[in-house]
């Protein structure tokens, strides 16, 4: 009789744990990045009254006779399914869509979380709201061979967003041109208009460039002090009998300082710059009269400086003029006034001079067995011996998910499911309580037999 009593006690204890887990899930229905838990039960040991007997001559086999001794909680598993995405609009809020965990530091302890409710502290470090855990990432550093390209560092560090910091002015070094010069335009007789002697600073320029055979492109460039200047390039179809040759004249139309550079560009029968054509002439502009340094600027007519195919440079096809300057690498001084997070985890600083500079890449950790992570409160996890070591990388690589800036991942709790489990836990506890009560009544009757 004591076996049924103790079985009922084990069942009541197990369903009390079940109820505790469900209550914790429901309590965290609105917790950012929370992952629900699920309880699994297993039966306990069995008392064997008679072992099993194999079949014999003239008699069949007999099964064993066993009485169970109750139930126990076998596991409380953390369910790492995706939670709903809630858009907040805050530029420090980040949600993970897919696999992975943010890496945060509590002193020297590395922790992991799905809660992307971040903010900036007084040192401009990105920290988790409510805990102060410092968010980790990889710093982006300029490529020493190409200052416009940024490489990811190899070590994790605290992410610091220097809002309000200044960005120094950068002199233009390369200007890119693209699109088309109309091959149908008539050739210009250099006896009537010679690009080698044409003065763009005459008032007015005399003679005027032939309208049907010329086209201008203009782009803003910067000197070393960040002063803006309009660079204009005039293209004229002057081939001296060669319809595939164009002359160009580069100058500053505002005349401060006066600068003129001249050259020619030859195209092949495929409409692209011919082999051996000068597609990256370097011009020198003397800005010293303005207090700035003299600048050597590459005029890229074939996209070579930007690893683009020739079709993305200047071409000559039987289509209307569309040539324009589309890129230059200079800028005025700027002040960072905002930042954003892209899907690949890049934290981009936005400056009031129109520049967007990659600062960091948020790190994401993935695990062989995420359910093996240990919950330590504050919606963070710690590695365990059964989770596997953290594979720390960046979003969209090595199985890691994408990031959504201005959003938060909410808990993955289904309230309807939790209420159903709440009923199961309640009824299971009540049923085991009835077993205890019934066992007690039988024991009382057994005691009363002597009376």
Structural domain containing residue 401: 89-165+335-370+389-408
The neighbour count for residue 56, using CB atoms within 10 Å, is 9
- pLDDT of res. 1: 58
pLDDT higher than 80, residue 396: yes
Give the torsion through C-alpha atoms of 307, 312, 313, 316, to 10 deg: 150
Whether 398 has a pLDDT exceeding 70, the answer reads: yes
- DSSP secondary structure string for all residues of 324-368: EEEEE--B--EEEEEEEE-TT-EEEEEETTS-EEEEEEE-EEE-S
Whole-number Cα distances in Å, 11 to 4, 38, 82, 418, 429: 10, 17, 32, 20, 7
Residues 324 and 185 both lie in one domain: yes
294 and 226 within one domain: yes
DSSP string for 238-296: --TT-TTEEEEEEE-TT-SS--EEEEEEEB-TTSSBPTT---S-EEEE--GGGTSPPEE
> Based on the domain organization, do 151 and 297 belong to the same domain?
no
The answer as to whether 381 is a domain residue is no
Residue 14 lies in a domain: yes
**323 in the same domain as 186:** yes
Per-residue pLDDT band at 310 (split at 50, 70, 90): confident
**Position 47 confidence tier, pLDDT thresholds 50, 70, 90:** confident
What are the counts of helices (DSSP H) followed by strands (DSSP E) for the chain? 2, 31
pLDDT at 210 over 90: no
The pLDDT of residue 231? 93
Residue closest to 245 by CA, chosen among 325, 316, 319 = 316
Count of CB atoms within 10 A of residue 202's CB? Answer: 9
How far is the C-alpha of 227 from the C-alpha of 248, rounded, in Å?
A: 25
> Quick check: is 378 in a domain?
no
Q: Which of 106-120, 302-316, 335-349 has the lowest mean pLDDT?
A: 302-316
Residues 145 and 191 occupy one common structural domain: no
Q: Is residue 59 part of a domain?
A: no
Q: Are residues 249 and 298 in the same domain?
A: yes
Asked if the structure places residue 380 within a domain, the reply is no
State residue 447's pLDDT score: 80
Q: Comparing 144 with 125, which gets the higher pLDDT?
A: 125
Cα end-to-end span (Å), the chain: 20
Percent above pLDDT 90 for the chain: 58
How many domains does the chain fold into?
A: 3
Of the residues 278, 304, 328, the one at which a domain ends: 328
In a domain, 253, yes or no: yes
- Which band of pLDDT confidence, cut at 50, 70 and 90, is reported for residue 302? confident
Burial of 413 (0-12, 13-18, 19+ CB in 10 A): buried
CATH number at residue 290: 2.60.98.20
Q: Which residues pair with 331 in a beta bridge?
A: 170
Statement to judge: residues 150 and 187 lie in one domain: no
My answer on whether 244 and 345 are in the same domain is no
> Which tokens go with 332?
């005025």
| pLDDT on residue 7 | 83
Do 260 and 309 share a domain, yes or no?
Answer: yes
Query: Is residue 54 a part of any domain in this protein?
Result: no
Tell me: pLDDT of 101 over 90: yes
DSSP letter string over 196-234? TT--TTSSS-SSPPPGGGEEEEEEEEE-TT--EEEEEEE
120 vs 124: CA distance, rounded Å: 5
Residue 280 placed within a domain:
yes
On average, the pLDDT of the chain sits at 90
Asked whether residue 314 falls in the same domain as residue 404, the answer is no
The answer to whether the CB of 294 falls within 8 A of the CB of 143 is no
In this predicted structure, the answer to whether residue 411 has a pLDDT above a threshold of 80 is yes
The model's pTM is: 0.78
Q: Percentage of the chain surpassing pLDDT 70?
A: 98
Residues 319 and 218 occupy one common structural domain: yes
Instruction: Convert the pLDDT of each residue in 212-249 to its tens digit.
Output: 888 888 899 999 999 999 999 999 998 777 889 999 99
Ramachandran class of 247: left when φ > 0, alpha when ψ lies in -120 to 50, beta otherwise:
beta
Query: In this structure, are 193 and 296 located in the same domain?
Result: yes
Write down how long the chain is.
451
**Residues in a beta bridge with 117:** 93
Question: What SS3 class is residue 428?
Answer: helix
pLDDT score at 46: 79
Q: Using the predicted structure, report yes or no on whether residue 441 has a pLDDT greater than 90.
A: no
Following DSSP, what letter does each residue of 93-134 receive, concatenated? BEEEESS-EEEEEETTEEEEES--BEEE-TTSBEEETTT-PE
């Amino acid at each position: 009789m004591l076996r049924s009593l103790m079985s009922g006690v084990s069942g009541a204890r197990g369903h009390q744990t079940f109820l505790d887990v469900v209550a914790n899930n429901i309590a965290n229905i609105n917790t950012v990045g929370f992952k629900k838990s699920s309880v699994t039960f297993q039966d306990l040991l069995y008392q064997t009254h008679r072992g099993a007997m194999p079949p014999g001559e003239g008699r069949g086999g007999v099964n064993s006779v066993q009485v169970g001794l109750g139930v126990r909680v076998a596991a409380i598993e953390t369910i790492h399914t995706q939670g709903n995405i809630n858009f907040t609009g805050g530029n420090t809020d980040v949600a993970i869509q897919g696999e992975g965990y943010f890496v945060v530091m509590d002193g020297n302890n590395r922790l992991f979380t799905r809660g992307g409710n971040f903010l900036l502290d007084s040192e401009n470090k990105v920290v988790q709201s409510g805990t102060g855990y410092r968010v980790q990432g990889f710093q982006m550093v300029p490529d020493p061979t190409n200052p416009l390209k940024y490489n990811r560092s190899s070590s994790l560090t605290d992410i610091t967003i220097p809002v309000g910091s200044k960005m120094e002015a950068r002199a233009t070094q390369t200007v890119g041109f693209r699109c088309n010069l109309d091959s149908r335009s008539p050739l210009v007789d250099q006896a009537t208009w010679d690009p080698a002697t044409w003065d763009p600073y005459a008032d007015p320029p005399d003679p005027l460039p032939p309208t049907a055979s010329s086209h201008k492109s203009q782009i803003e460039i910067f000197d070393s002090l960040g002063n803006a200047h309009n660079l204009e390039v005039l293209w004229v179809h002057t081939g001296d009998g060669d319809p595939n040759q164009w002359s160009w004249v580069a100058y500053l139309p505002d005349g401060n300082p006066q600068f003129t550079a001249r050259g020619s560009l030859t195209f092949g029968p495929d409409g692209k710059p011919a082999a051996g054509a000068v597609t990256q002439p370097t011009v020198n502009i003397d800005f010293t009269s303005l207090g700035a340094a003299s600048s050597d600027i590459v005029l890229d007519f074939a996209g070579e400086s930007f690893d683009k195919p020739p079709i993305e440079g200047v071409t000559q096809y039987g289509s209307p003029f569309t040539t324009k300057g589309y890129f230059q690498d200079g800028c005025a001084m700027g002040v960072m006034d905002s930042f954003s997070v892209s899907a690949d985890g890049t934290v981009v600083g936005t400056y009031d001079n129109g520049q967007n500079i990659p600062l960091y890449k948020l790190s994401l950790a993935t695990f062989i067995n995420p359910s093996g992570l240990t919950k330590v409160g504050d919606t963070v996890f710690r590695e365990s011996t059964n989770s596997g070591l953290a594979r720390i990388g960046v979003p969209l690589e090595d199985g890691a998910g994408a990031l959504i800036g201005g959003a938060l991942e909410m808990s993955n709790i289904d309230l309807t499911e939790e209420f159903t489990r709440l009923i199961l836990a309640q009824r299971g506890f009540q049923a085991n309580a009835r077993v205890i009560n019934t066992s007690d009544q039988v024991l009382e009757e057994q005691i009363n037999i002597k009376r």
